[in-house]
């Protein structure tokens, strides 16, 4: 078992003929992910990966032909909102948007529209999902994680790889790793993923990697205190970050004194979460 993606996922790739899209499609297929096709407007009827994968002009036609149940978006930031609306209107229930740099007001419109359509969005500005041994839907390197019983959820990219790698070195594997992304307005948050892990029979423990900005870690802490039965270990990045500066991720900013690492660590510790001092320490807290 796992959450969100597994070997039954039938994935299409929006932006499949672009550099990024094609590169990562190749990687995902090599990992064993069930990629069933892709979309690039104006290139419908073409094939990629030596004729293995069909390209469609629209998500709607791709869905009709392939019965896809998930889509991953690799299109540039200015076109990504449209790609997300298109996926939702075509009836794809799970949308993963890797693209970084989507405008905030676009994301507010997308999020509210997708909520109305009951579409699950992961990202944007995220590394995607990895269910080791079953499906890699995103850009997380497949070889740094092994199957296991730990659910991983994170706002970051390479920091997550760091943790997966430290886990692997200890022989610890993951059920699913979910990169929720570093933007201020995103589709799925810690709370949503923690609920899924809590209800996933295979997941026995959870690792959560947060950072400065916003209050989603605090909301997660509340959920952990009230409802969660499985042990959680965490790390919060940005303890040395200055206030008022965006630390690379659009959402990683301390504003008006709110969103500090200290506040988040305090909330998590009060909820019984073990908070690591550095990322390599996290897996050892769950041993």
Go through the chain and tell me how many residues it has: 287
Burial 104-113 (b: 16+ CB within 10 A, else e): eebbeebeeb
Residue in 62, 251, 273, 275 binding other proteins, rule: CB under 8 A: 251
Lay out the site mask for other proteins across 147-176 (x = CB under 8 A, - = otherwise).
-------xxxxxxxxx--x-----------
CA distance 29 to 49: 9
DSSP codes of every residue in 211-269: ESSSSHHHHHHHHHHHT--S-EEEEEE-TTPPTT---SSTT---BTTBS-HHHHHHHHH
Lay out the site mask for other proteins across 38-77 (x = CB under 8 A, - = otherwise).
---------------------------------------x
Beta-carbon count within 10 A of 118 CB: 8
32 near other proteins (CB under 8 A) = no
240 near other proteins (CB under 8 A) = yes
The yes-or-no answer on residue 249 being catalytic is yes
Provide the 8-state DSSP code for 209: E
Tell me the window of 35-43, 44-52, 199-207, 212-220 that interacts with other proteins (CB under 8 A): 212-220
Q: Which is nearer to other proteins, 54 or 124 (CB)?
A: 124
Tell me the window of 29-37, 44-52, 53-61, 273-281 that interacts with other proteins (CB under 8 A): 273-281
Label residue 92 exposed, middle or buried (CB < 10 Å: 0-12, 13-18, 19+).
buried
190 near other proteins (CB under 8 A) = no
241 near other proteins (CB under 8 A) = yes
Q: Which is nearer to other proteins, 36 or 282 (CB)?
A: 282
Q: Which helix (H) or strand (E) holds 35?
A: strand 35-39
Under 8 Å between Cβ of 5 and 135: yes
123 near other proteins (CB under 8 A) = no
DSSP codes of every residue in 96-150: EE--S---HHHHHHHHHHHHHTT-EEE-SSS-EEEETTTEEEESS-GGG--EEEE
Residue position matching structure tokens 């659910």:
151
Q: Which is nearer to other proteins, 10 or 219 (CB)?
A: 219
Q: How far apart are the first and last CA of the chain?
A: 21
Residue in 1, 7, 65, 239 binding other proteins, rule: CB under 8 A: 239
Annotated active-site residue in 24, 199, 249, 278:
249
138 near other proteins (CB under 8 A) = no
CA distance 125 to 121: 12
Q: Which is nearer to other proteins, 63 or 168 (CB)?
A: 168
Instruction: Name the minimum Å distance from CB 229 to other proteins.
Output: 26
184 near other proteins (CB under 8 A) = yes
250 near other proteins (CB under 8 A) = yes
Q: Which is nearer to other proteins, 44 or 113 (CB)?
A: 113
Interaction site with other proteins (CB under 8 A): 23, 77-78, 101-109, 111-113, 139-141, 144, 154-162, 165, 182, 184-185, 209, 211-212, 214-216, 219, 235, 237-242, 245, 247-252, 256-257, 261, 277-280
């Amino acid at each position: 078992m796992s959450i969100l993606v597994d070997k039954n996922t039938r994935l299409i790739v929006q932006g499949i003929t672009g550099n990024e899209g094609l590169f990562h499609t190749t990687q995902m297929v090599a990992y064993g992910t069930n990629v069933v096709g892709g979309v690039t407007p104006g290139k419908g009827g073409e094939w990629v990966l030596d004729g293995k994968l069909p390209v469609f002009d629209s998500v709607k036609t791709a869905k009709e032909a392939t019965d896809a149940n998930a889509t991953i978006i690799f299109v540039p930031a200015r076109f990504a909102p449209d790609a997300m609306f298109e996926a939702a209107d075509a009836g794809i229930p799970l949308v993963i948007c890797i693209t970084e740099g989507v405008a905030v007001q676009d994301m507010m419109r997308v999020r509210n529209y997708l909520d109305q359509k009951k579409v699950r969005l992961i990202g944007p500005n995220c590394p995607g999902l990895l269910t080791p041994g079953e499906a890699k839907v995103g850009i997380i390197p497949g070889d740094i994680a092994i199957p296991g019983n730990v659910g991983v959820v994170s706002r970051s990219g390479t920091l997550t790889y760091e943790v997966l790698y430290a886990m692997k070195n200890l022989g610890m594997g993951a059920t699913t790793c979910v990169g929720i992304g570093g933007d201020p307005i995103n589709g799925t948050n810690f709370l949503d993923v923690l609920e899924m892990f809590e209800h996933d029979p295979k997941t026995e423990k959870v690792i959560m990697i947060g950072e400065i900005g916003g209050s989603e870690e605090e909301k997660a802490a509340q959920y952990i205190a009230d409802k969660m039965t499985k042990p959680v270990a965490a790390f919060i990045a940005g303890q040395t970050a200055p206030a008022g500066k965006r630390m690379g991720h659009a959402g990683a900013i301390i504003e008006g004194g709110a969103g500090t690492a200290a506040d988040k660590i305090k909330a998590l510790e009060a909820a019984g979460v073990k908070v690591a001092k550095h990322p390599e320490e996290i897996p050892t807290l769950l041993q």
